[in-house]
Structure 1
């Protein structure tokens, strides 16, 4: 693209770097060390996920500054991950990735995207047009319930 930004499919050999980006993104929010220890065990973008699902990265210049994982599945496609490197937050990276993933879901026949949002990111998804449809208990963190959101495509 003329502005040096583009979205492309992730490559399996990028799994470790994309996981590191996701963990940096999660650490942007005010979580304590105990919570971050759990997230560092549970947040992973694996080679298998890249091979099996729709995984897109956002690049600005030569730097990957965002990643999203979509799991197609009939009428509902699950947004499993959407992470933006902290220096790129607020620069449209997340919106561009979400729109590209939504288009990929549409092409695969999905009628909506569903996701479990970090409470700090819920407003982002609501601004994109998602609505809260419930809550999702987090098995690894007793008492933590994430907003369950859906967006009609």
Structure 2
């Protein structure tokens, strides 16, 4: 398994993976279609954000994460998705570890994210805390807003 920067040519593959992964949580296809724009990983998105893909030994993308810097000390994890057949196999944790180690090399002190309610416990196990909630388009459904405080690696050579 390797984790490397996604390229613009990965756009369609990452979008399809996102749709399959989101569908894993028993959302209706009608609901997934309503979210299509939000779940689409465009070529421009890959250029503008930090997007890293997990590739298996057959050179297939089986997961990815994306993030962006909010400011010098805060980053937002925007996406973390794994192929449904690999959910629960440790690949999500592998992606999170890579992400955290990558941003620890910057001045980042806080990671924030808006979690799908089905993924909340995954993030809690890593150490994220719920700091708020975000109302969604589905009645009585809220996304937990979560935060993880980290200590940057001591270095004068921040990236």
Task: Give the structure-2-normalised TM-score.
Answer: 0.87
Q: Would the alpha carbon gap of residues 115 and 38 (structure 1) be closer, same or farther in structure 2, given more than 3 Å must change?
A: same
Size of the alignment, in residue pairs? 148
Q: Secondary structure at the match of 1:69?
A: strand
* Alpha-carbon distance, 1:41 to partner: 3.2
> Which of these two proteins has the greater Rg computed from alpha carbons?
2
* Structure 1 position 33, deviation (Å): 3.0
Equivalent residues in 2 for 1:56-75, closer than 5 Å: 56-61=52-57, 62-73=59-70, 74-75=72-73
Q: Cα offset for 1:36?
A: 1.6
Residue number in structure 1 paired with 2:157: none
Select which of 125, 145, 153 maps to 1:148: 145
Alignment partner, residue 26 of structure 1: 22
State the TM-score, normalized to the length of structure 1: 0.90
Q: Return the match for 1:41 from 20, 32, 37.
A: 37
Q: Is the 8 A contact 2:17 2:81 kept in 1?
A: yes
Query: Which of 86, 89, 110 is the aligned partner of 1:88?
Result: 86
RMSD: 1.4
Q: CA deviation at 1:131?
A: 0.6
CA distance in 1, matches of 2:47, 2:115: 24
In structure 2, the partner of 1:123 is: 121
Question: What secondary structure is seen at the aligned counterpart in 2 of 1:29?
Answer: coil
Shift, 1:56, TM fit: 0.5
For residues 92-144 of structure 1, give each alpha carbon's deviation from its aligned partner in whole angstroms, at most 9, with x where no partner exists. 11111111112222223111110000000001000011010000123x44543
Unaligned runs of 5+ in 2: 151-159
1:73-101 CA distance string (max 9 Å, x none): 22210011000001111121111111111
Alignment partners' CA distance in 2, 1:127 and 1:66: 19
Matches of 2:13 and 2:56, distance apart in 1: 16
In 2, distance between residues paired with 1:113 and 1:27? 26
Contact 1:131 1:149 in 2 (8 A): yes
Would you say the 8 A contact 2:23–2:29 is kept in 1? no
